[in-house]
């Protein structure tokens, strides 16, 4: 979302989230690297935290509809590259989850009737079609959980950590962890700790000024699928 004053820590968080997502999706290039699942657990909560941080800033309300429009546009543009690259996907790409999450978070934040109705409607859609959404209904609730804790003491970050874990097939992770799967154990820790780590970055790394991530960055989502698909094709 465009803001008048760049927050270096927020741009850093977005770049790290993008890197985490890229590492996660490298698992589908054709290499044996299950451990990349762990950094991949950081991507979605950090994107949700960036959304919450933008919403929490003064004047963010003016850009919410533009923000939603970009999410919906790239939801549509990303679906084909996502389905071509990810083998047998059982959900939509992540953008619809973020779009619904934005509406839910704004419905809680803004007391106008329209925002409340859209928020309730988005939550009902998420509940009804949870199986089609990446990270399910808990993924849609994660931006709201992060918005609620973003200005509270750090230990409140445990709440969105639990929401994040719930959206990451916690039953499968728990069963694998019980049998001693190290990737599952560290993956659970990553889900629980991602919001805490992200809020630490936002609060203590404001002096860093990476390349600003502006609207052009939305295109990186479908483009990274095409790039990884080209790499996989070249290696086979």
At residue 10, the pLDDT reads 95
At residue 133, the pLDDT reads 97
At residue 138, the pLDDT reads 97
At residue 1, the pLDDT reads 37
Ranges of the chain whose pLDDT falls below 70: 1-5, 58-63
Q: Give the rounded distance of the alpha carbon of 8 from its chain centre.
A: 19
By CB atoms closer than 10 A (0-12, 13-18, 19+), residue 229 is middle
At residue 127, the pLDDT reads 97
Ramachandran class of 81: left when φ > 0, alpha when ψ lies in -120 to 50, beta otherwise = alpha
What is the Cα–Cα distance from 235 to 227, expressed in whole angstroms?
Answer: 13
What is the Cα–Cα distance from 117 to 191, expressed in whole angstroms?
Answer: 30
Q: What share of the chain is helix, strand, coil (3-state, %, to 5)?
A: 80, 0, 20
Phi and psi at residue 9, to the nearest 5°: -65, -35
């Amino acid at each position: 979302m465009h803001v008048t004053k760049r927050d270096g820590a927020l741009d850093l968080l977005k770049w790290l989230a993008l890197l985490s997502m890229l590492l996660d999706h490298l698992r589908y290039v054709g290499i044996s690297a299950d451990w990349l699942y762990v950094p991949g657990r950081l991507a979605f909560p950090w994107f949700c935290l960036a959304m919450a941080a933008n919403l929490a800033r003064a004047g963010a309300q003016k850009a919410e509809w533009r923000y939603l429009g970009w999410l919906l546009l790239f939801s549509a543009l990303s679906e084909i590259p996502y389905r071509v690259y990810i083998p047998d996907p059982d959900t939509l790409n992540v953008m619809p989850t973020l779009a619904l999450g934005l509406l839910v978070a704004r419905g809680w934040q803004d007391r106008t009737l329209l925002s409340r109705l859209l928020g309730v409607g988005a939550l009902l859609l998420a509940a009804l079609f949870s199986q089609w959404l990446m990270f399910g209904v808990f993924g849609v609730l994660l931006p709201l959980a992060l918005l609620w804790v973003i200005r509270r003491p750090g230990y409140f970050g445990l709440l969105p950590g639990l929401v994040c874990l719930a959206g990451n097939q916690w039953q499968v992770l728990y069963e694998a962890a019980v049998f001693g799967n190290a990737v599952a154990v560290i993956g659970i820790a990553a889900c629980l700790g991602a919001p805490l780590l992200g809020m630490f970055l936002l609060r203590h790394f404001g002096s860093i000024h990476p390349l600003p991530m502006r609207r052009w960055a939305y295109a990186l989502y479908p483009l990274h699928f095409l790039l990884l698909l080209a790499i996989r094709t070249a290696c086979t």
